[in-house]
Amino acid sequence: MIEVKGLKKEFNGLKVLNGINYTINQGEKIVVIGPSGSGKSTFLRCLNLLEEPTGGEIWFDGTNITDPQNDINKMRQKMGMVFQHFNLFPHMTVLDNITFAPVRLKMQTKAEAKENALRLLRRIGLEDKADEYPNRLSGGQKQRIAIVRALAMNPEVMLFDEPTSALDPEMVGEVLDLIRELADEGMTMVIVTHEMGFAREVGTKILFVDEGLIKEENTPEEFFSHPRNERLREFLSKVL
């Protein structure tokens, strides 16, 4: 579904990604972990071209999205993204946050989008917040709404960039529960996270990224019980 070939990224001479090769198949839940500054977030942000790769190719559904001829917006409509800092639109109500993109892009009529948004809000138990502004919500509520906003586009893949890192500890659970539900429904997802327990439970594959490369890739069982890479062992001993 997503094929990454020799992905490289430099920021003003600073090499962040040094040639990543990886293939993500339909229905997989890829969890990316690694020390800070390892390039894991950059890797995720390259997948929907929020960061423009400086080398290599990314293929999505059989098209090379790094080809400048490719329509970036069309691609992004099929890849939902959830940010560490939620990035809800503060000047719009919760409902408008969710319906903005589908209506603007003429994928749904206003009425359809509203109905769809309310259905999604009902699912996460926040239907009564539809007309609230984001600043009135807790971090956990904001992040769940951000997830729902991405879902409203009916994406094929969901990208999560440290979705719980900015949350108070007691709100982490509600967000992880929602992501877990989506995973169970078969959504393909790539998750950058520091929640090791969650990674182990939800991931079908765990990647360890360090120095801009995938240093280890394995099933959760093997990854956590028999880490082979020296740096990974060191990393796990610190975080587990």
Partner 1 sequence: MGWMDEIKAEFVKTFIRDDRYKVFLTGFENTILITLVSIVVGLIFGIVIAMLRYGYVQVKKRKPVTAVKKAGYVLYFIIDKILALYVAVVRGVPLVVQLLIMAFVIMAGFPNKIVVCCIAMGLNSAAYVSEVVRGGINSVDAGQMEAGRSLGVGAFDTILYIILPQAFKSALPALCNEGIAVLKETSIVGYIAVVDLTRASDLVRSRTMAPMMPLFFIAAVYFACVMILSFGVSFLERRLKQGDRG
Distance between CA atoms of 128 and 121, rounded to whole angstroms? 8
Segment contacting partner 1 by CB under 8 A, of 2-10, 84-92, 173-181, 226-234:
84-92
As measured in angstroms, the least distance from the Cβ of 230 to partner 1 is 35
- What is the Cα 128 distance to its own chain's centre? 26
**DSSP annotation string for 39-107:** SHHHHHHHHTTSS--SEEEEEETTEETTSTTS-HHHHHHTEEEE-TT----TTS-HHHHHHHHHHHTTS
The tokens for 208 are 């360890």
As measured in angstroms, the least distance from the Cβ of 152 to partner 1 is 9
Determine, following the binding rule CB under 8 A, whether residue 134 of this chain makes contact with partner 1: yes
Distance between CA atoms of 213 and 229, rounded to whole angstroms? 12
Q: Give the residue carrying structure tokens 């997830």.
A: 147
Determine, following the binding rule CB under 8 A, whether residue 48 of this chain makes contact with partner 1: yes
Segment contacting partner 1 by CB under 8 A, of 14-22, 148-156, 175-183, 188-196:
148-156
Determine, following the binding rule CB under 8 A, whether residue 149 of this chain makes contact with partner 1: yes
Determine, following the binding rule CB under 8 A, whether residue 150 of this chain makes contact with partner 1: yes
Determine, following the binding rule CB under 8 A, whether residue 68 of this chain makes contact with partner 1: yes
Residue number with CB closer to partner 1 (59 or 133): 133
Considering only CA atoms, give the Rg of the chain.
18
Distance between CA atoms of 220 and 149, rounded to whole angstroms? 29
Determine, following the binding rule CB under 8 A, whether residue 187 of this chain makes contact with partner 1: no
Segment contacting partner 1 by CB under 8 A, of 149-157, 172-180, 191-199, 220-228:
149-157
Residue numbers at the binding site for partner 1 (CB under 8 A): 48, 50, 52, 68-69, 73-81, 83, 85, 87-92, 100-101, 104-105, 133-136, 149-150, 153
